Amino acid sequence: MQTATITHLSPRAAISLPLAAARKFEVTCSNCNLRELCLPKGLREEDVAKMEQIVYARRRVRRGEALFNAGDDFHAVYAIRSGFLKTTVINDDGREQVTGFYMGGELLGMDGIGTGTYNGNAVALEDCEVCVLPFSLVEELGREIPTMQRHLHCVLSREIVRDHGVMMLLGSMRAEERLAAFLLNLSKRLTRRGYSPSDFHLRMTREEIGSFLGLKLETVSRLFSRFQDDGVIEVQQKHVQIRDIAGLEAVLGD
């Protein structure tokens, strides 16, 4: 595989990335509409400029294409600029298990920090664009800017909390609670990005939702129909309108 060497900050931070993922471009984090989600609050403009130096490339990932696969060497984390991706692992019996859904302003690839390889696959659910952040440069910048290092720690902490939440969802919630929690979480994340909390398009299939929630496809379809019959949501294929957020929240409290 052809590679390109990155030597932006210092020779100590030089790494190699696949050439296809190493197309340099003029990065403007300061003008990005996801800045408040990707970067720590209160970061000085001169520090934002330093951050722009380490964002090596903007990579387009087509629908169905893998951003990375399990076992690939870990070199970088990825900040999603646009689009949705799913992360998956392959179970011992060969079945694909969805482990998460990610959208603009979120980071992917942190699972490779400890092992040196990515532990799962990241696949685009629609055409996406990501910023490539070589991790050696992220670490170097963190040593130079403590606020950035703390932000990285917070991102790692959120991933741990998210994993615990998924375990609780799969281990103790009833089927209807799982789907309600999923829709409410999606609504909350979309709201943070300036989108409607109650009117959105699902990028994932019902089968993928079921894989993530530990439910059969038939169960997911039945629950969508039940929520619609109860007047809580309205569904037209992948288009969802939450008619009664309080009613959806009440499902979790039953």
Q: What is the pLDDT of residues 68-122, one digit of tens each?
A: 999 999 999 898 989 999 999 998 888 999 999 999 888 899 889 889 999 999 9
**With DSSP H G I counted as helix, E B as strand and the rest as coil, what are the percentages for the chain, rounded to 5?**
45, 25, 30
Name, of 25-29, 34-38, 86-90, 250-254, the range with top average pLDDT: 86-90
Q: How far is CA 241 from the centre of its chain?
A: 22
Percent pLDDT > 90 in the chain is 50
Give me the pLDDT at residue 4, please.
Answer: 34
Instruction: Give the whole-angstrom CA distance, residue 213 versus residue 102.
Output: 15
Residues of the chain with CATH 1.10.10.10: 173-253
8-30 pLDDT tens trace: 333 333 344 443 444 444 446 65
Kindly state the average pLDDT of the residues 194-215.
95
110 DSSP β-pair partners? none
For 56-206, list the strands marked E by DSSP.
57-61, 66-68, 76-82, 85-90, 96-102, 107-108, 121-124, 128-134, 199-201
Is residue 47 classed as helix, strand or coil in its secondary structure?
Answer: helix
pLDDT of residue 38: 67
Distance (Å, whole) CA 220 – CA 209:
8
* pTM confidence score: 0.80
Fold of 3-167: Jelly Rolls (2.60.120)
Letter string b/e over residues 110-129, b meaning 16 or more CB atoms within 10 A of that residue's CB:
bbbeeeeebbbbbbbbeebe
CA 172, 208, 158: angle at the middle one, nearest 5?
Answer: 60
Predicted local distance difference test score (pLDDT) of residue 12: 36
CATH number for the region 173-253 comes to 1.10.10.10
Dihedral of CA atoms 55, 60, 63, 67 in degrees, nearest 10, equals: -40
Quote the mean pLDDT of the chain: 81
- All CATH 2.60.120.10 domain ranges of the chain, comma separated, are 3-167
Q: Is 30 or 183 the better-scoring residue by pLDDT?
A: 183
